[in-house]
Amino acid sequence: MRIATWNINSVRTREDRVREFLTRSDVDVLCLQETKCTDKQFPDFTDTGYEQAHFGLHSFNGVAILSRVGLENVKTNFGQPGFDKDLPQDQNMEARAIGATCGDVEVWSLYVPNGREIRDPHYTYKLRWLQALADYARGEVTTGRSADTQGDTITPAEDKLCLVGDFNIAPRDEDVWDRSHFDGKTHVTPRERACLAALENAGMEEATKLIEDEYTYWDYQALRFQKGEGMRIDLQYARGISATSARVDRDERKGKGASDHAPVIIDYEV
């Protein structure tokens, strides 16, 4: 099974790029993040031979799964907390996660909170969100974390599980172009990386570690892509299936109208 993850950074702006990618990439499942649209606004890709599921509430966040190997048991709640900047009011769940059974693998498309700054409440939210994800992977689901569960019933994770998306964390210092640039900033802190370690302790293995010396994200600012100043923050974690090859479609970061992220493609033996 070939699974790709791609922070598309506005799917309506880049619908043609998604269609072209599906045509040439031969992926079985494509997970998208930052679709930046509501469910009604999400483009219809079913004419490409893929079923689709999308979760979007506003013109920001938003996640989707496109699958040609089946799409069942769609859910958007694994027990994650919600967030609202106007604390301490009720924290509503954001459109950052969607999961479905594709073939016989449970696949989640995830847009992990950015964290903003270490002293920002969003950083604590990020850590709690990732803790809930690790709990879910372990089968230790706590209900009632979110003030708005979108009507979902939280069911245990399947044995074959794949968690993919924009994690907004660089697993190693080598995964950023200049570690000193991130001193005192998010994405590289020990607490964030401990959350990735918690996923591994829950039985998940980082499939994207097969990718060496390649970034997945380059900021639009300061000509980061042209200078080779990127980060490896788009990741895939799996259990019950084995990664056999991995690559970054770097060409998708080129040209006019590209997302600031590139697709990350993993082949699995299921």
Annotated binding site for Mg(2+): 7, 34, 166, 168, 260-261
For residue 101, the SS3 value is strand
Greatest CA separation for the chain: 48
Beta-sheet pairing, 161-166 with 234-239 = antiparallel
* Per-position DSSP letters for 169-194, written without gaps between them: --SSGGGBS-GGGGTT-TTS-HHHHH
Which tokens go with 223? Answer: 């000509």
**From 111, 217, 237, 268, active-site residue:** 111
- Distance between CA atoms of residues 99 and 122, nearest Å: 23
- Distance between CA atoms of residues 156 and 154, nearest Å: 7
Residue 166: active-site member: yes
For residue 58, the SS3 value is coil
Directed axis angle between helix 190-201 and helix 121-138, to 10°?
A: 10
- Distance between CA atoms of residues 42 and 54, nearest Å: 7
**From 135, 166, 175, 234, active-site residue:** 166
Token look-up 């990732």 returns 130
- Distance between CA atoms of residues 36 and 56, nearest Å: 7
Residue 47: active-site member: no
Give the strand order in the sheet containing 29-33.
51-55, 63-67, 29-33, 2-7, 264-269, 242-248
**From 125, 261, 267, 268, active-site residue:** 261
Residue 122: active-site member: no
Annotated binding site: 7, 34, 166, 168, 260-261
- Distance between CA atoms of residues 160 and 117, nearest Å: 34
Residue numbers annotated as active site: 111, 166, 261
